[in-house]
């Protein structure tokens, strides 16, 4: 059973994934990803993954866990956290730990091994974003979970170990400190000004336009004021909404258009870079709130986290967001 351990000074949690334990000699960086012939996410290999928990596209009456699907969500075969067991918190001297309870699922975005998320049609990507919502709505019924982190690692430099297009979600028994910091920061702003800081950001970016990349009726795509990495890009609903899973399918369709545009332009500008994206949304047990505003942060993996970043939490970014946005506005995707 993995363990969640808390650093006693800064309160940072770490998952000690003992089941994944490796010998020191195995700790070299992972080798190349398997080719499609061996890919556990390709159609025909459904028995190489745990049984599906969500699927679209399969013909009525067709058996589960066989081919014919369009989006397929399965538990991770090597989960960082385990779904079985009780949440058990205890102390070890001055230290805190708890059982590594959680869910770790993989959202397989398409049956086609070689298609990237950016190559999906708007309709296909909408189905992926809807699958995210469906999984949140299901997993939030499990009262052990406090937060669901939805994210995607694309490319080896962004930590992807399998090539077949997939996103991931991890349901956690605690709200991560980084998420809580964001929620607390937004709440402080609301307490002072009775306004949502993210709505303020949307208003300033629409007025200023120098960091704007794209917008449609419902979503704004822009380079944030203080980006950690070159070409970091945020996708934010213009209308206030704290919870991703509250969005109706029509609005997820417009989100898919914004996300697809972002990924295609980043790919054209930077030559298919590795990237991470993270869905930032309100914690499961918090009520919908006027102070928090869900959004997606896309970070191309172009710079390396080194000693200065580790030690300070500061980031050094050689590309001003205004230059990145101008480039992304003009690039032909």
Return the H-helix or E-strand segment holding 130: helix 122-139
Of residues 274 through 293, those in contact with its own copies by CB under 8 A are: 276-280
Among 99, 153, 242, 262, binds its own copies (CB under 8 A): 153
Give yes or no: 315 in active site. no
Question: Which CB sits closer to its own copies, 81 or 134?
Answer: 81
Please name every residue paired with 192 in a beta bridge, in sequence order, or none if there are none.
Answer: none
Binders of its own copies among residues 98 to 137 (CB under 8 A) are none
Q: Hey, what are 107's tokens?
A: 């959202």
Query: Is residue 95 a contact residue for its own copies (CB under 8 A)?
Result: yes
18 is an interface residue for its own copies by CB under 8 A: yes
Residue 169: closest CA among 129, 204, 141 = 129
- Collapsing DSSP to helix, strand or coil, 229 comes out as coil
What's the rounded Cα separation, in Å, for the pair 102 and 81? 5
We find the least distance from the C-beta atom of residue 235 to its own copies, in angstroms, to be 14
Span between the terminal Cα atoms of the chain, in Å: 46
Candidates 33, 98, 162, 269; binder of its own copies (CB under 8 A) is: 269
In this structure, the number of other CB atoms found within 10 A of the CB of residue 106 comes to 23
Rule CB under 8 A: which of 203-222 touch its own copies? 204, 208
State which of residues 1, 62, 64, 316 lies at the interface with its own copies (CB under 8 A): 316
Q: Which of 154, 164, 166, 295 is catalytic?
A: 166
Rounded CA separation 248/258 (Å): 16
Distance in Å, CB of 251 to its own copies, minimum: 22
Closest distance to its own copies from the beta carbon of 218 (Å) = 21
Residues 170-199 that bind its own copies (CB under 8 A): 170, 172, 176-179, 181-182, 185-186, 189, 197-198
Residues in the chain: 333
- Give the DSSP letter string of 60-107: TTPPTTSS--SEEEEE-SS-SSBSSS---EEEETTEEEEE-B-EEEEE
Answer whether 170's CB lies under 8 Å from 148's CB.
yes
Closer to its own copies by CB, 37 or 318: give it: 318
| The only residue of 93, 248, 287, 330 in contact with its own copies, by rule CB under 8 A | 93
List the interface residues with its own copies, window 61-80 (CB under 8 A): 80
Q: Least distance to its own copies from the beta carbon of 167, Å?
A: 9
Please report how many Cα atoms fall inside a 13 Å half-sphere around the Cα of residue 182, on the Cβ side.
16
Q: Which of 37, 194, 307, 332 binds its own copies (CB under 8 A)?
A: 307
Which positions are catalytic?
166
């Amino acid at each position: 059973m993995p363990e969640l351990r808390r650093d006693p000074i800064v309160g940072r949690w770490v998952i000690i994934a003992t089941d994944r334990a490796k010998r020191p000699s195995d700790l070299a960086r992972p080798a190349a990803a398997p080719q499609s012939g061996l890919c556990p996410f390709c159609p025909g290999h459904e028995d190489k993954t745990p049984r599906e928990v969500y699927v679209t596209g399969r013909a009525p009456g067709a058996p589960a866990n066989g081919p014919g699907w369009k989006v397929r969500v399965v538990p991770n075969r090597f989960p960082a956290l385990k779904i079985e067991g009780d949440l058990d918190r205890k102390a070890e001297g001055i230290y805190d730990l708890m059982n590594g309870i959680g869910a770790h699922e993989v959202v397989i975005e398409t049956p086609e091994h070689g298609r990237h998320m950016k190559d999906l049609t708007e309709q296909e990507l909408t189905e992926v974003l809807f699958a995210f919502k469906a999984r949140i709505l299901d997993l939030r019924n499990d009262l052990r979970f406090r937060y669901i982190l939805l994210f995607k690692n694309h490319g080896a430099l962004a930590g992807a170990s399998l090539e077949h297009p997939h996103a991931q979600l991890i349901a956690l028994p605690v709200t991560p400190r980084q998420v809580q910091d964001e929620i607390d920061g937004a709440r402080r702003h609301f307490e002072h000004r009775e306004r949502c800081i993210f709505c303020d950001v949307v208003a300033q970016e629409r007025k200023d336009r120098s960091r704007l990349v794209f917008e449609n009726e419902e979503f704004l795509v822009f380079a944030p004021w203080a980006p950690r990495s070159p070409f970091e890009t945020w996708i934010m609903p213009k209308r206030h909404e704290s919870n991703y899973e509250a969005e109706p399918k029509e609005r997820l369709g417009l989100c898919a258009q914004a996300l697809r545009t972002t990924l295609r332009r980043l790919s054209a500008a930077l030559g298919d870079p590795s990237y991470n994206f993270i869905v930032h949304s309100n914690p499961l047990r918090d009520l919908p709130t006027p102070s928090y505003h869900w959004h997606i942060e896309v970070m191309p993996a172009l710079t390396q986290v080194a000693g200065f970043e580790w030690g300070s939490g500061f980031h050094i970014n050689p590309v001003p967001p205004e230059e990145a946005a101008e480039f992304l506005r003009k690039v032909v995707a």
